[in-house]
Amino acid sequence: MRTPIVAGNWKMYKTVAEAVKYVHELRAMVPDVTGVQVVLAPTFTALHPVAEAARGSRIAIAAQDVHWEREGAFTGEVSATMAREAGAEYAIVGHSERRTLFGENDASVNRKVSAVFAAGMTPIACIGETLDQRERNETFDVLDQQITKGFDGLTTDQVGRLVIAYEPVWAIGTGRNATPQQASEAHGHIRTRLRQWFGAEAAAQCRILYGGSVKPGNMAELAGQPDVDGALVGGASLDPRGFYEIVSRSRPTAV
Ligand code: PGA
């Protein structure tokens, strides 16, 4: 039985004061939500204050990115170990904004996923096709490549603990979410590949989140798809009430 995860990716939004106020509001709402792991991914500057504000609650914290080295001469970077020390238990890796705007690729994702595991954290690794690739019918090929290169060398045990976020790039921040059928098809394909390449047990344990214009109004239907184990939410996670509504609709039983 996979516990769903609903993770809020705040991107470059919210000051420390705004972030802490949000956590106080959200933690008052989430105690009645059971059977779902709630995760918030603030900016690096808000990581520690948010972790402190969430201490003792049902909310876990994620970094939005990490560097693959433990330490070194890498101006501007933050390591997984440092994010862990600041209170993060998860780290998002390979988000499409990192891939398109900051030159990340499957090779850097691979190094980062390993670094996150080495720091004792759980990676939330993002994969997904662009609109061009979907229109050229390349979606499955793109996913195959992101899985083979991005997760190369992981143990079956690590793949079982890995969280994958399927985020079609054309659905991110556009208001145009994948239909439940499109999500179901892609998630089913990803799980089949995990089974073929990493074994049945790892495939059965790995959580696959959907991301891309998730809102309170479309969460329940997406969560009702058999291989969808929660969501990575951008824009709609910025308001605590709306995010809470998504969290409360994230279990298949809620459909
Ligand atoms: P969105 O972003 O929910 O605003 O589409 C999702 C993401 O970037 O993870």
The band of 252, judged by pLDDT with boundaries at 50, 70 and 90, is low
Q: In the structure encoding, which two tokens stand for residue 234, read together? A: 């951008």
Residue 125's DSSP bridge partners are 93, 164
Secondary structure class of 61 (helix, strand, coil): strand
Tell which atom from ligand 1 comes closest to the C-alpha of 172.
5
Q: Is 77 a catalytic residue?
A: no
Please choose from 6, 172, 238 the residue to mutate so as to test ligand 1's pocket, defined by most ligand atoms within 8 A of CB. Answer: 172
Confidence of residue 67 (pLDDT cuts 50, 70, 90): very high
Instruction: Please answer whether residues 216 and 246 qualify as being in contact, where contact means their C-beta atoms are separated by less than 8 angstroms.
Output: yes
Q: What fold characterizes domain 5-254?
A: TIM Barrel (3.20.20)
Please compute the mean of the pLDDT values over residues 7-23 and round it to a whole number. Answer: 98
Q: Is 167 in the pocket of ligand 1 (CB under 6 A)?
A: yes
Q: What percent of the chain has pLDDT over 70?
A: 98
Please state the length of the chain. Answer: 255
The stretch 175-185 carries a mean pLDDT of: 93
167 in active site: yes
- The SS3 of residue 40 is strand
Short-list 208, 120, 110, 198, CA closest to 156: 198
Closest residue by Cα to atom 1, ligand 1, is 234
- Cβ count near 89 (within 10 Å): 17
Mean pLDDT value across the chain: 96
Q: 212 is written with which tokens?
A: 């891309």
The domain locations on the chain are 5-254
Give the integer Cα–Cα distance in Å for 193 and 175: 29
The protein residue whose alpha carbon is closest to atom 6 in ligand 1 is 234
Q: At 123, give phi and psi (nearest 5°).
A: -75, 140
Ligand 1 pocket residue status of 177, Cβ below 6 Å: no
pLDDT at 253: 46
Pairing verdict, β 37-41 and 207-211: unpaired
Q: Tell me how far apart the 2 most distant CA atoms of the chain are, in Å.
A: 50
- pLDDT band (50, 70, 90) for residue 255: very low
Pair 8, 39: CB distance under 8 Å: yes
**Which pTM was predicted?**
0.97
Q: Is the CB of 213 under 6 A from ligand 1?
A: yes
pLDDT at 56: 93
Q: What is the CA(229)–ligand 1 centre distance, in A?
A: 16
What are 159's two structure tokens? 């793949």
Any idea which of 29-43, 122-136, 195-209 has the lowest mean pLDDT?
A: 29-43
Q: What pLDDT, on the 0 to 100 scale, is given for residue 39? A: 98
What pLDDT, in 10s, does the model give residues 113-137? 999 999 999 999 999 999 999 999 9
